[in-house]
Chains A and B, each alone.
Chain A
């Protein structure tokens, strides 16, 4: 039990669809992250939110739109995706503690397939 849940676990969508991924953390953390994990590539950081404010956008295409309404919830809105966007999308959270490591706790991921 990592304390970070993601829904849905699997998603198949067409290139013209609009869908959203949801992440919820039950650990009382104040930072949340979206990562993309593709085959044969290192984990790619997409977005970072700290106390609901976006602090990092790693040059992610605008067809991915994050939303963080509070420190416990994070969404990733998807629209007009491309087949190369098919991947495992992971959410993580951490506690911002000055001077200490940002150990991250991951959810199980959403396996996205774009057809």
Chain B
């Protein structure tokens, strides 16, 4: 069974701080996706990384796929209250039409 462990599980910070969320596995994935879920809603796709070592930026969010494609990180610069939510990573294997979801990181950004 493939597992994706996210750390930290919970993070409470003040507006303007920087943070990094980690997504780790002992398994190799062909791609990795990051989602954000706000209370009362379903997860929304933020980004997909495919190539080992790939870095993608989405405004203040920077996503990186590990060189060995077993891990990923999400860095948020100058966090804002609107960044509050549950962040989920999800790994995919080529040819398998299903994602393995991580354990989740719940982020609270206070004004």
Q: Which of under 10, 10 to 19, 20 to 34, or 35 or more describes the interface residues of B?
A: 20 to 34
Residues of B at the A interface (CB closer than 8 Å) are: 4, 30-31, 33, 35, 40-45, 48, 50, 88, 90, 92, 94, 97-99, 101-104
List chain A residues, Cβ under 8 A from B50.
101
Contact partner of B42 among A31, A42, A50, A106, CB < 8 A? A106
Q: With A and B bound together, what is the CA distance between A12 and B99 in angstroms?
A: 29
Q: With A and B bound together, what is the CA distance between A50 and B95 in angstroms?
A: 13
What would be 26 A-B contacts, judged by CB atoms less than 8 Å apart? A2-B42, A4-B42, A33-B98, A42-B101, A42-B102, A42-B104, A43-B43, A43-B88, A56-B97, A90-B43, A92-B42, A94-B97, A96-B97, A101-B30, A101-B33, A101-B50, A102-B92, A102-B97, A102-B98, A103-B33, A103-B45, A104-B43, A104-B90, A106-B44, A107-B42, A109-B41
Residue A64 interfacial (CB < 8 Å): no
Q: Which residue of B lies closest to A45 (CB)?
A: B98
Q: Give the shortest distance, in Å, between B92 (CB) and chain A (any CB).
A: 6
List chain A residues, Cβ under 8 A from B104.
42
User: Which residues 85-110 in A have Cβ within 8 Å of B in the complex?
Assistant: 90-92, 94, 96, 99, 101-109
Residue A55 interfacial (CB < 8 Å): yes
Known: A43-B88, A92-B42, A103-B33. 7 other contacts (CB 8 A): A2-B44, A99-B94, A102-B97, A102-B98, A104-B43, A104-B45, A108-B40
Q: Which residue of B lies closest to A111 (CB)?
A: B40
Q: With A and B bound together, what is the CA distance between A9 and B33 in angstroms?
A: 26
List chain A residues, Cβ under 8 A from B88.
43
Contact flag A90-B42 (CB < 8 Å), given A42-B102, A42-B104, A101-B50? yes
The residue in A45, A48, A102 that gathers the most chain B C-beta atoms within 10 A of its C-beta is A102
What are the 10 tightest A-B residue pairs by CB atom distance, in nearest-first order? Answer: A106-B42, A43-B101, A101-B31, A42-B101, A106-B43, A101-B48, A108-B41, A108-B42, A90-B42, A109-B42
